[in-house]
Homo-oligomer: A and B are copies of this chain.
Amino acid sequence: MSQAYDVYNDRCPTRMVLDRIADKWAVLILDRLQDGPVRFNHLRRDIHGISQKVLSQTLKKIERDGLVSRTVYATVPVTVEYALTPLGRTLTETVRTLAHWAEKNMDAVLAAQQAYDAATAPPR
């Protein structure tokens, strides 16, 4: 993280953006949209564990951030498609590097956790 801004202080704009990135559901949604527009209930089905309420809220947030677009089709019943904006696409691309890290180092993290637990819990 660059020191161009005072990242550790409140009112830091970078920190503000970090708040948004640090949203698990938002990241998952952004990722799911990478292959093209997806409808509301389709997202709901694909992202297991998300409630329709949280999905709705999160979509609104990232739409406000300019990361996704919302397109309503006057079909009956109505159809709504969410898609990445160009800005959103640049973000998912950098998020990809995080995912790669996760896949590569997951085993190491798991091992570390087990070691930690073994070193702290067993005294019992």
Contact = CB atoms under 8 A, between A and B. Distances in A.
Contacts of A111: 66
A2 B32 contact: no
List the 8 closest A-B pairs by CB distance, nearest first. Answer: A66-B112, A1-B99, A17-B102, A1-B31, A64-B116, A22-B24, A94-B101, A14-B102
**Interface size range on A against B:** 35 or more
Interface string A85-124: 0010011101111111111011011111101110000000
Contact of A27 (B9, B18, B27): B18
Nearest to A109: B65
B17 A109 contact: yes
A63 B116 contact: yes
B27 A8 contact: no
A28 interface: yes
Given A13-B110, A66-B108, 6 more contacts: A1-B92, A2-B99, A2-B103, A14-B102, A18-B28, A66-B112
